[in-house]
Amino acid sequence: MADVRFAPPLQRLTSPPEGAPVPPPPPAVAAPPALRLTPPSVTQIRETTGSSPLISFQELIQPKTDTRPTKRKKKRGKKLITFVVFVGLVGGVGYHFRNAAPVQRLLHHQAAAAPLPAVPFVRPAITSAEYSITLSAVQNGVPNNVTTKVRADFLSGTAESTVESQVGGVFSTSQEIRTADSIFRPGQAFGTTWTRQPRTPDTPATYDAATSILMVNDIVDQPLRDATKPTSSKSEKIGGSTISTLTYVIDRARVPEIAPAIFARVPWLFDVPNATTLTVEVSYDELGVVRHLAFRVDPPQPGTGSDATWVTSYTMDVTSLNAAVAITVPGDALEVPVGTP
């Protein structure tokens, strides 16, 4: 007979006592989400009417690779290389032209002028010249400047001068041509183009003599060299020539004593009252020929009183020497007496 087994008797569930609270059922535990290997497909919605497009969720979690930092680095590298090449070029050009006169003037590295020789310069042969002389003055308290421009052929004794005057705000111009025996001037006042008057031996040869071109010895004489040294001295190359410049600042009261050559040449500079110093600047070439000359009294004072004219500065500039000078002498002119202005 087969074995017959009975199930164990069911246990009786006892009910909770009356009045006891019923415990709440345990919370349901949610199942963990399945791992996704790829982001979910999200429909991209963009507004085409706005100024800035919206960023989709797809773009937010998977941004595109930005290549701008790499490009920026490349640009910075190119700029650095360009800058280094530019600095190298500037340095090379500067080194090549470091001794040029303009660069030396810019750097204030001009060489000092060589000392004047113990033996005065010998005047060279000067056949022609073009130069200008400017006098600055005050007349009755009004500025009065006169500039005389000269073109002279010393071999033929012919010179042409043009005088430009300024008195206050009034400007005027006059012209004159001198030969060995005549003086020609425009003759509008006489109804002719030119007038001619004989030149007498006592007529001063102001502009048509070669001695109008000065030598440095005529300015810096031996008494001045013995008494003082120049305040400044420099030398530079100009147009293939070495130009030396000396500057003196002299007590005006001592000028007649220590600079007699200067006092004899411009005595009227010492009529200015209350002026305390005289500044002298002279530039000359290798032969000792003066190319620039300037005298100035400081401080200048305005002239006062009737016909008071005080010259406060004198400047001479030589623009060319021994160059061809063409001066046309008038062939038809009205004869006028000697001394006619």
pLDDT digit string (tens) for 107-144?
445 688 888 888 899 999 999 999 999 999 887 778 88
The mean pLDDT value for 17-45 works out to 54
- The phi and psi torsions of 271 (rounded to 5 degrees) equal -90, -15
The mean pLDDT value for 22-37 works out to 56
- What CA–CA distance (Å, rounded) separates 198 from 181? 6
Share of the chain above pLDDT 70, in %: 68
Where residue 247 falls (left for φ over 0; alpha for ψ -120 to 50; beta otherwise) is beta
What pLDDT shows up at residue 1? 46
Residue ranges covered by each domain of the chain? 128-335
pLDDT reading at 16 higher than 90: no
pLDDT higher for 206 or 180?
Answer: 180
pLDDT reading at 94 higher than 70: no
pLDDT reading at 213 higher than 70: yes
- What CA–CA distance (Å, rounded) separates 333 from 184? 8
What pLDDT shows up at residue 154? 93
Share of the chain above pLDDT 90, in %: 43
- What CA–CA distance (Å, rounded) separates 251 from 230? 13
Average pLDDT over the chain reads 79
Q: How would residue 96 be classed by pLDDT, with cut points 50, 70 and 90?
A: low
- What CA–CA distance (Å, rounded) separates 54 from 47? 7
pLDDT reading at 222 higher than 80: yes
Q: For the domain with range 128-335, which CATH number is right: 1.10.8, 2.50.20, 2.30.30, 2.40.30? A: 2.50.20
The mean pLDDT value for 276-286 works out to 95
The mean pLDDT value for 259-286 works out to 90
- What CA–CA distance (Å, rounded) separates 313 from 54? 82
Place of tokens 């038809």: 332
> pLDDT (tens digit, 9 = 90+) per residue, 142-178?
888 999 999 999 999 899 999 999 888 889 999 999 9
What pLDDT shows up at residue 54? 55
pLDDT higher for 214 or 1?
Answer: 214
What pLDDT shows up at residue 56? 59
